[in-house]
């Protein structure tokens, strides 16, 4: 199984271009333990599903994240990153069932 870079959020955003991360208001979603009531939907959803990113989800792209992946250039890049991750996961599962 592939391992995701710790500077890529659960949603696929590169922390280096995330305004919250660069402003110091977010330590990076992989660098802290988040409370169950965390306001970031992908953190909670991925945690509940036991997956490392949205691209590993069988429901990708879900209704909750479709709009997010259209909000900005960094979010569009995140969506593309997760689409590639999802495609690679499907291919891996097809080759090694």
Task: Say which residue, 57 or 29, is predicted with more confidence.
Answer: 57
Q: 8, 53 in Cβ contact below 8 A?
A: yes
Confidence of residue 66 (pLDDT cuts 50, 70, 90): very high
**Dihedral (Cα; 36, 39, 45, 46), 10-degree rounding:** -90
Q: Which residues contact 52 (CB under 8 A, 6 or more apart)?
A: 3, 4, 10, 46
Q: 4, 42 in Cβ contact below 8 A?
A: no
Residue pointed to by tokens 């996961």: 89
Q: How far apart are CA 81 and CA 4, in angstroms?
A: 11
Mean pLDDT of all residues in 35-44 = 76
Lowest mean pLDDT among 1-10, 55-64, 65-74, 85-94: 1-10
Mean pLDDT of all residues in 43-61 = 91
What percent of the chain is predicted at pLDDT more than 90?
A: 45
> So what's the pLDDT on residue 1?
54
């Amino acid at each position: 199984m592939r391992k995701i870079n710790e500077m890529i959020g659960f949603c696929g955003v590169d922390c280096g271009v995330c305004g919250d991360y660069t402003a110091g208001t977010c330590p990076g979603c992989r660098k802290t333990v988040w409370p169950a009531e965390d306001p970031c939907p992908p953190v909670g959803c991925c945690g509940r599903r036991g997956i490392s990113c949205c691209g590993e989800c069988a429901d990708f792209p879900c209704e909750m994240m479709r709009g997010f992946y259209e909000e900005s250039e960094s979010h569009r890049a995140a969506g593309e990153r997760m689409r590639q991750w999802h495609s690679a996961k499907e291919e891996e599962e097809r080759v090694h069932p």
